[in-house]
Structure 1
Amino acid sequence: MDHLPRPVCGVGVVLERADGLVAVGHRVTAGETSSWSFPGGHLEGGETPVAAALRELAEETGVRAGTATLFALCVRTGGSGVTLAVHVPAPAGAELVVTEPHAIDAWVWADPDELPEPSFAHTAAVRHAWRTPGVPLPGWDLHRVAER
């Protein structure tokens, strides 16, 4: 049996404005192929998925939001990792700020059905679980956990 790394638990944040556009960032993390990603990161000890999502959102984009809903669990079967998908309604007038230019060099608002390519794997899974619930995605085991 192949040895896979121990799964890491992360959050993927769908920050959605009232007009339906979502926040995506251009990932430029050293050692990775550049891609486009929802805000997100890893849970810290004792942190709930919603708390992690709101923290990561503020750290990465400067957007401070008060409410969020966990809506899906995305397990990567073709590798390692568990991503908890969290929806956050964007506060009115939310502006995206590049706060970690070594990781994300630009944030944009995009149509969730026409995200820029290439998409970061975990972002693609979160988007798939959100936009097409119940439809399988190769390499992922997706579970809806709440209705938005």
Structure 2
Amino acid sequence: MEPLPRPVSGVGVVLQRDDGRVAIGHRVTAGETPSWSFPGGHLEGGEAPVGTALRELAEETGVVAPAGTLVAVCVRTAGSGVTFAVHVPAPDGVAPVVTEPHAVDAWTWADPDDLPGPLFAHTAAVRHAWRSPGVPLAGWDLHTIAR
């Protein structure tokens, strides 16, 4: 059996408004099948997950938020990678904007229990860990953080 690639650590950001809706983007990264994704990205050396989430959120959507909370750790067993799920309350009146059109061509607000599809695999895991704590998800080892 071939060894799996070295795991990559990333974040998935659940940017949630007071009405419960979350930000989700139409992912159009070259070489990938188009899908829908929460804001997110990879940790850089020395970065903590919440700091990464706030940085990626600002880079990808233009939304600057003061704080976030780590809610789950999602380990991909059907492949490679660790995704930290970070919940960020949306500041009043924010509207995500397309800042990286090569990666995401549109942002919208959606009901977290009725997201458009197909979902990017890491977004599906983050949503599942956040909305259905303790419920297994095939291909993932999910660890919800006590709230």
| TM-score (normalizing by structure 2) | 0.99
Contact 1:9 1:81 in 2 (8 A): yes
Q: Distance in 1 between matches of 2:23 and 2:91?
A: 12
1:145 Cα deviation from its structure 2 partner: 1.7
Q: Distance in 1 between matches of 2:49 and 2:3?
A: 27
Is it true that 1:27 corresponds to 2:27 in the alignment? yes
Q: Distance in 1 between matches of 2:15 and 2:114?
A: 15
Aligned residues: 147
1:67 Cα deviation from its structure 2 partner: 1.1
User: Match for residue 138 of structure 2?
Assistant: 138
**Structure 1 unaligned spans of 5+:** none
| TM-score (normalizing by structure 1) | 0.98
Residues 92-146 of structure 1: CA deviation (Å, up to 9, x unaligned)? 0011100000000000000000000000000000000000000000000000123
**Structure 2 unaligned spans of 5+:** none
User: Match for residue 104 of structure 1?
Assistant: 104
Which amino acid in the other structure matches residue 46 of structure 1?
G
Q: Distance in 2 between matches of 1:140 and 1:43?
A: 19
1:127 partner SS: helix
CA RMSD of aligned residues (A): 0.5
Contact 1:40 1:56 in 2 (8 A): yes
User: Match for residue 6 of structure 1?
Assistant: 6
Moved over 2 A (4+): none
Identity %, equivalent residues: 78
Q: Distance in 2 between matches of 1:104 and 1:64?
A: 18
Which amino acid in the other structure matches residue 28 of structure 1?
V
